[in-house]
Amino acid sequence: MDTERFDNYYQSCFAETNVKTAEQTFDTYDRCFRTLLPSSREGKVLDFGAGLGNLTAWLKTNGFINIVSIDVSRDQCEAAAKLGIDVRHVQDPLKFLNASENAFDVIFMSDVIEHIPKAEMIKYLKLLRACLREGGSIIIKTENVATPTGIYQHHMDFTHEYNFVDKSLKQVLLISGFNNVTVQGHSVKWPRRPWLWWRPILRFFYIECIKIIYSAEQPRGSNNPKIYSNSLIAKADK
């Protein structure tokens, strides 16, 4: 994978966003990963493609202390350091993975797999599997291109290489040797303020409309998506 395109990734992609603290992202991680966390907090965790370290910070608030966080983007690692989060710059992720066999109990890839070229995808996943200890798990979050918003998220970032629907994400994990593969969408949180309830209500009807469109195109529905949230969350075991 060509890592030079990530040299100024923070400046080119995230510098103008409204997210300025890790805590602003915690609600997203709660809805995506809360139910998938291991019961023990003592295992060694790899945050692969940690970016600004927001997920690392969330894991620490949930009791994980043995976390290795790496990223190929130097300016993202520097931005993380300014936030007080230690993300190690790794220029050659394949070299890092080859040197980390059986090193981790859990590996997180949050919005990372879509940056890996399709031709290298299985090679990376097999190496990530080798980095897990027996019985360890990988947890992946990525865009769901079965929805219009997921399609937008794919195309909003020039460095995105490939994206998935629920079926193809499960398929590539099985091909790469993982077991007990599950794929789900993120949970929906109802706002505390009643005047904001229009958002989850509108989302419900929006998803129902998407289902109708798929059914109209493929009446038998055998290949229709099962998940319609804009993110997919997969968990697989070694």
The predicted-structure confidence for 6-37, as pLDDT tens digits, reads as follows 888 878 877 667 667 888 888 899 999 999 99
Tens digits of per-residue pLDDT, 66-113?
A: 999 999 999 999 989 988 999 999 999 999 999 999 999 999 999 999
Q: What is the pTM of this model?
A: 0.93
pLDDT of 18: 65
- Spatial CB neighbours of 194, under 8 Å, sequence gap ≥ 6: none
Confidence check: pLDDT of 4 > 80: no
Mean per-residue pLDDT of the chain: 91
Pairwise CA distance, residues 34 & 12, whole Å: 30
pLDDT of 7: 81
pLDDT of 29: 93
pLDDT of 19: 66
> Which of 185, 182, 180 lies closest to 136, judged by CA?
180
Structural contact between residues 150 and 168, judged by C-beta atoms closer than 8 angstroms: no
Distances (CA, A) of 76 to 14, 60, 87, 114: 9, 19, 8, 17
**Which tokens is 123 given?**
């090679």
- Spatial CB neighbours of 140, under 8 Å, sequence gap ≥ 6: 108, 109, 110, 112, 113, 169, 173, 232, 233, 234, 235, 236
pLDDT of 6: 83
Domains of the chain by start residue, with CATH: 4-190+226-237 (3.40.50.150)
**Which tokens is 238 given?**
């070694």
